[in-house]
Structure 1
Amino acid sequence: MTRTILHIDASARLQDSVTRSLSGQIVRRLNGNVIRRDLARPLPLLTEDWVNANFTPADQRSDAQKEALALSDELVEELVRADVAVIGLPIYNFSVPAAFKAWIDLVARAGLTFQYTENGPEGLLKGKRAIVAVASGGVPVGSEADFATAYVRHVLGFIGITDVEFIAADRMAVAPEASLKAANDRIAALAA
């Protein structure tokens, strides 16, 4: 059976982006049907209308509320269909790009990607894998100053994706050749 890969790029840079290059290499290595989502085309931020629509039971939503949630529903469906999410994620100012946070806000939906239980929240997207290609100028991935990777691991786990692997090309402003070599070596070693 052919796997489905959701390929997400969050870099604002369309040319010469390290994370776009790395995520593309990962997708080619995995070889499957690809759903493409480029966050350089901005997603809308949550609004009061969106929040009200989201908290209205699905069978009671007006046409305007259904329209307000249409893109979010599409993004959730992409995640549901995917076996693997490959995410190109630069670190901007110690954290994730705003475009990626907007994507998270649109896919983290009670009843669709997680649910509340007596034991706390439970992710509904279990059995999926995420591979995140991370690049930074100076922040070492996993360091005290890296707020991006811990956030990504947490929020993906919150919606049920607990198999999360990071491939880092960090400190690109300090040691670009060594950083890219390490990231490329990790990609070459990925289990397809």
Structure 2
Amino acid sequence: MSKILAVHASPRGDRSHSRRLAEVFLAALQARRPQAQLTRREVGRALIPPVNEAFVAAAFYPEPNARPLSMQADLALSDELVNELLGHDLLVISTPMHNFSVPSGLKAWIDQIVRVGLTFDHTLDNGVAQYQPLVRGKKALIITSRGGFGFGPGGELESMNHADTLLRTVLGFIGITDVTVVAAEGEESADRTFDVSAAEAEERLRALAGEF
């Protein structure tokens, strides 16, 4: 993994647990691979605009290579984000769970990088759309923090976790199927529940730094 793209989605700064855990992993990875190129993309504390009618019209313009200048401008940020994603080997997403899903900035980033003809394509089979991923050879690591406990696989609140499932679905749709999730749970719980979970997450992330 010589090129790493770190997408930070928490709207919090130094108080963000997902950011801190991401830095644990990135520091360990860079210690092992000092020549690795790290690019950071802020989507939690920097505005990523939601898609609008102009975006949709430009993205689905029938002749992509002949888009009017105005449409090229409508897609400029999206083009930048897509090229950024395609230019890296490992995608690291750090995000809290917000109301059972992901923060709005991360959802906006997702909508900007899921682009027909660039990250996925489709054909018609008897009038029914068939989708094909276009992204190849990449891995993803999702580093997340959750206020409650039991949202992971087999947990009593697993069915309410729409954050991991959303990210896995979207990434798989465009072709990134090798996805690892590391979570710290229980920030809003009593005692040392979160401290223990965060420590376990840190240990797992340091180990993963040697595996990627």
Q: TM-score, normalised by structure 2?
A: 0.86
SS of 2:75's equivalent? helix
Deviations 1:124-168 (A, max 9, x none): 112100001010101523411111001110100001000000010
Match of 2:53 among 48, 52, 56: 48
Supply the AA of the counterpart residue of 1:151. L
Distance in 2 of aligned mates of 1:27 and 1:81: 18
Offset, 1:116? 1.3
* In structure 2, C-alpha distance between the alignment counterparts of 1:28 and 1:172, rounded to whole Å: 23
RMSD of aligned alpha carbons = 1.4
What displacement does 1:120 show?
Answer: 2.4
CA distance in 1, matches of 2:94, 2:47: 15
Q: In structure 2, what is the equivalent of residue 91 of structure 1?
A: 97
Q: Distance in 2 between matches of 1:116 and 1:171?
A: 41
TM-score (norm 1): 0.95
Paired AA for residue 198 in structure 2: L
Shift of 1:60: 2.1
Does residue 1:65 correspond to 2:64, yes or no? no
1:30 deviates by: 2.4
Aligned counterparts of 1:149 and 1:78: Cα–Cα separation in 2: 22
Partners of 1:7 and 1:37 within 8 A in 2:
yes
Q: Which residue of 1 aligns with 2:33?
A: none
Q: CA deviation at 1:122?
A: 1.7
- The gaps in structure 2 that reach 5 residues or longer are 31-35
Name which one, 1 or 2, has greater alpha-carbon Rg: 2
Q: Percent identity?
A: 38
- Contact 1:9 1:20 (8 Å CA) reproduced: yes
Match of 1:113 in 2: 119
Partners in 2 of 1:28 and 1:61 — Cα distance? Answer: 42
Which segments of structure 1 move beyond 6 Å, counting only runs of 4 or more? Answer: none
Q: Distance in 1 between matches of 2:66 and 2:134?
A: 23
Query: Could you tell me which residue of structure 2 aligns to residue 169 of structure 1?
Result: 184
Is contact 2:133-2:175 (8 Å) kept? yes
SS in 1 for 2:21: helix
Name the CA distance, whole Å, in 1 between partners of 2:19 and 2:184.
12
